[in-house]
Amino acid sequence: MKKLILVRHAKSDWPEETEDFDRPLADKGLKDAMNMSRFMKSNDISIDHFVSSPAVRALNTCKIFNQTYQLNVSTEDQLYNPSERNFESVIYDLDDSVSSVALFSHNNGISNFANSISEDIFHFPTCGVAGFEIDCNSWSEFDGAKKKLLFFYEPGKI
C-alpha cells in the first residue's frame, strides 16, 4: 500500500509588480500552513517525502510543513501550473522506498487531479489536504491501482 497526500499551497498574496511564480504567502497562509501541518502530525499522518512545485507560495507551504515533519524535500517543475498528467508523471518517478508522499501544488490542477482519482467531488481551498490510499506496491502501478480517499481537511474546519 502507498499513500498519496495532495496539498494545495496556503493563501498567497499578490504584491504589485510580482510575477505569478514569485507570489509569497499571505499572513493567513503562513498561519494556516503551520496549523495544518501540526494538525496532521498530531493525528499521526505519516509522510516519508515532500515534493513541491518550485513556485514560491507552494514551496514555502512545503517548508512550513517541513518544520513539523523534518523530511527530505524535492521540487518538481511539473507541479507548477499542472495538468492531471503532470501529477501522474511525478508519481511514476517516485522511488518505491517512499511509502507516503505529499505533493504541494496549485489549483485548478490539484482539484482536477483529485477528482480524476476519486468518486468524491473536490475543490481544494488554499491549504486544503486530501489523503488517498493507493493499493499498489510500486508507484509504477499507480494508474491501475484502486484508490481510496482517507481524509480531506480544510484549514477553516480543523
Q: What is the 3-class SS of 106-128, one letter each residue?
A: CCCHHHHHHHHCCCCCCCCCCCC
- The verdict on whether residue 57 carries a ligand-binding annotation is yes
Query: Are the C-beta atoms of 52 and 75 separated by less than 8 Å?
Result: yes
Rounded Cα distance, 124 and 130, in Å: 9
Give the position of cell 484549514. 155
Closest CA to 33 of 122, 132, 158, 133: 158
- What would the grid cell of residue 86 be? 503532470
Task: Point out the annotated binding site for substrate.
Answer: 57
Task: Point out the annotated binding site.
Answer: 57
